[in-house]
Amino acid sequence: MMAPPSSPSSSPSNPNLQPTTTPRPFSLLIFFDASQLHDKQELHLKSLRSEFSLVSSSFISNNNPSSQSKLFFCYIEFKESQSSFAQFGEELGDGGGLL
């Protein structure tokens, strides 16, 4: 999921997330995972995790580290950080969304 550099109002999916008054000089791409759901083939979590890794590796390999645009790739595992799922308004198996 991509967190935009700034937004005029709070996230519609989670009103607890408040926008910054000035644009952030970076963006976040967050992958929310739940290993306990990897056996549910219809969610495609294993392949999505693999694609996330491919995209992050490709971005790092093909972009100059000193460029003006900063993008951070984040991986959050449900078992390790249930509070992060709650803070971002994510639920197990909901497929995620734009923050």
Parallel, antiparallel, or unpaired for β 2-3 and 26-33?
antiparallel
Q: Which amino acid is at 43?
A: L
Q: What percent of the chain has pLDDT over 90?
A: 7
DSSP letter for 72, please: E
Kindly state the helix (H) or strand (E) to which residue 70 belongs, with its residue range.
Answer: strand 70-77
Alpha carbon 83 to its chain centroid, in Å, reads 14
94/72: higher pLDDT:
72
pLDDT tier at 54, thresholds 50, 70, 90? very high
Arithmetic mean of pLDDT, 80-87 = 80
Arithmetic mean of pLDDT, 83-99 = 66
Q: How many whole angstroms separate alpha carbon 3 and alpha carbon 5?
A: 6
Q: What pLDDT, in 10s, does the model give residues 13-53? A: 555 566 667 777 788 888 888 888 888 888 888 898 899 99
Structure tokens at 86: 């709650």
